[in-house]
Amino acid sequence: MLTVTLNAAVDKTYRVDGFCLDRVFRVEAGRVVAGGKGINVARVLHTLGVPVVATGFLGGHNGAFILDSLQQEGIPGDFVWTQGESRVCLAVIDPIAGTQTELNEIGPFIHPEEVSALEQKLAQLLPQFAYVTLSGSAPPGVPTDFHARVIHLAHQAGVRVVLDSSGELLRHGVEAVPWMVKPNRAELSAIFGREPADVDEARQMAHQLLEKGIEIAVVTLGKQGALWASAEGEWFAQPPEVEFVSAVGSGDSMLAAMLYAFIQGMSPPDILRWGVAAGAANAAVFGAGFCTREQIEALVPQVAVKAFDRHLAKPQYK
C-alpha cells in the first residue's frame, strides 16, 4: 500500500479542561506526532499488519521530525523535500465541554519543480503497489488537478486509487475516476454544490459517483454513521458508543481499516463494519491513528450494519 500526503504536519494535540478564550492554560496532557491524513492512514495500516510506504512532501526541521517519527514507528517513508517548512497542526480537546478546536497551518509553498519531482517519484513508485491512497489537503503551489494527474498515472500502472480529499482536489480527482472515494458531508459539496440534507440524499449522491465509473463510494455522516455504495449493494453502519477523547484521525483510521478488511477478502458490510469500528476506536484514544488492533476488534461486533433495499428509502435489516 502506498499513501500520499501532500501536506504532512507535526500534529500537536492538547487536552485542556475548561478551555476558553483570553486565558492562560497549563497543558498537562499532550501528544506530538507525525501527522497528515495519508500518514495517519499509513499508521493504522501498519498497526493492522499491512505493508505500507508513505510519500509526499516534507520540508525543514518539521519534515525531519516527521520522517524520524515514521522511522521510529517502523513506517518506511520516501518523500520529496521542499524548500519550505512542513506545517504544524494544533488540536485542543476539552473533555468537559466536549469540544475540539483545531488550528492548522496552510503549509509551505510548493515550487513547480518540487511538484514535478513528486510526480516523477510517483510514476516510479506506483508500479510497485496494488493500492494508493490520496488523502487530505494540498499546500500552496500544488495544482488543483494534482490528484487527477496521479489517478491517471495509477490507471496506467494498474493501481487502485482511493481518494479522500476535499475542495478542488476532490472535484478534479472524482472526474479522473478513482477506484474508491470517501467524502463526508462537507466534501460532497465540492462535487455537487451542496451538502446532502439526509441519508437519502447522500445515497443519491453516492449513486451519481458510481455512475461516473467509481466502484466504491463511502459517505461518512459523522456520529450518524456511514454509507457504503457499490455494485454489490448498499449498507449503512452506525458507530458504537465510546468514551470520546478526540476525533482527529478517525476518518483516516476508518479508511485504513476498510482497506485492511478489503484485502482480507471480507464482504462489503464487514468492510464497512471494520471501518466504522476503527473510526470509533480512534475517537477513544489520544492522537490520530494510535488505536490498537485489539481496540478495533473489540468494537467490530458493536457496529450495527443495515442493508438498503434499493427500491426503498430506508435501510432494512437483512
Query: Is the pLDDT reported for residue 310 higher than 70?
Result: no
Tally of structural domains, the chain: 1
Residue 3 in any domain: the answer is no
Query: Is the pLDDT reported for residue 174 higher than 80?
Result: yes
Residue 223 in any domain: the answer is yes
Instruction: Write out the catalytic residue numbers.
Output: 252
Domain that holds residue 247: 37-56+111-316
Weakest-pLDDT range from 17-21, 139-143, 279-283: 17-21
Residue 124 in any domain: the answer is yes
Residue 17 in any domain: the answer is no
- CA proximity to 39, closest of 89, 85, 101: 89
pLDDT digits (tens, 9 = 90+) for 48-89: 999 999 999 999 999 999 999 999 999 999 999 999 999 999
Residue 90 in any domain: the answer is no
> What CATH number is given to the structural domain containing 248?
3.40.1190.20
Query: Is the pLDDT reported for residue 315 higher than 70?
Result: no
pTM over 0.85: yes
3-state DSSP: the chain helix, strand, coil percent, rounded to 5? Answer: 40, 25, 35
pLDDT digits (tens, 9 = 90+) for 231-254: 999 999 999 999 988 888 999 999
Residue 85 in any domain: the answer is no
- Provide the pLDDT confidence category of residue 138 given band limits of 50, 70 and 90: very high
Helix (H, G, I), strand (E, B) or coil at 121: helix
**Per DSSP, what are the bridge partners of residue 100?**
93
Residue 12 in any domain: the answer is no
96 contacts: CB under 8 Å, gap ≥ 6: 17, 18
Q: Which three cell numbers stand for residue 65?
A: 521530525
State percent of the chain over pLDDT 90: 87
Query: Is the pLDDT reported for residue 262 higher than 90?
Result: yes
Query: Is the pLDDT reported for residue 317 higher than 50?
Result: no
* pLDDT for res 230: 98
Residue 74 in any domain: the answer is no
For residue 86, the 8-state DSSP code is P
Q: Which residue has the higher pLDDT, 223 or 281?
A: 281
Q: In Å, what is the CA distance from 15 to each residue of 100, 104, 147, 252, 282?
A: 9, 17, 34, 21, 15
